[in-house]
Amino acid sequence: MKTLYLIRSGIRLFIAILIIGCGAETVAAILFIPAFSATWNVENNDVYRIDLQPDEANKGVHAGVFEGEEQHDTIPALDGNPLSGSFSGLNIEFTIQRPNNETIQYVGQMQTISDSDHQVIRIELQSLEGNLVLVQ
């Protein structure tokens, strides 16, 4: 009977250690600080870009907000439209305000060079207008 109690206690201790250990990994992932300030090219489109610019207070932080604009060399309706958005870790979303009060919301994920180098190299986004991939 005492042996059964010791085995159960050992198992509980082992599970508690696993939970605490996994919790530490989750915290590290949550505290991911992306570096993405730039004008991004739309993949496979030489004339379309998206400018994403967090201000100084929103650089080097896990979560924040940013502003920017849509830039297009040949379609005036897609050029100079303001956007605003937010990010949290690798999650990103923004809304573009187009003429005639049309808004387009994009939601997606940022991809970085590595887990230790947080420079963002690709942003994959979805909207009702379709998918959009931003690259450097």
The pLDDT tens digits of the residues spanning 5-15 come to 545 555 555 55
Distance CA 56, CA 126 (A): 27
- CA–CA separation, 31 vs 52, rounded Å? 21
Residue-wise pLDDT for 59-118, tens only, equals 888 899 999 999 999 999 999 999 999 999 899 999 999 998 999 999 999 998 888 888
Other Cβ atoms within 10 Å of 36 Cβ, number: 22
- Band of residue 124 on the pLDDT scale cut at 50, 70, 90: very high
pLDDT of 31 > 80? The answer is no
Instruction: Note whether 116 and 59 are same-domain residues.
Output: yes
Q: How many domains does the chain have?
A: 2
- Tokens 């049309």 correspond to what residue? 102
Q: Which domain holds residue 22?
A: 1-30
Rounded to an integer, what distance in angstroms lies between the CA atom of residue 7 and that of residue 3? 6
Do 74 and 131 belong to one domain?
A: yes
Do 124 and 70 belong to one domain? yes
Judgement on whether residues 65 and 20 belong to the same structural domain of the protein: no
The reported pTM is 0.73
Residues 43 and 15 grouped into a single domain? no
Q: Within this chain, do residues 95 and 115 fall inside the same structural domain, yes or no?
A: yes
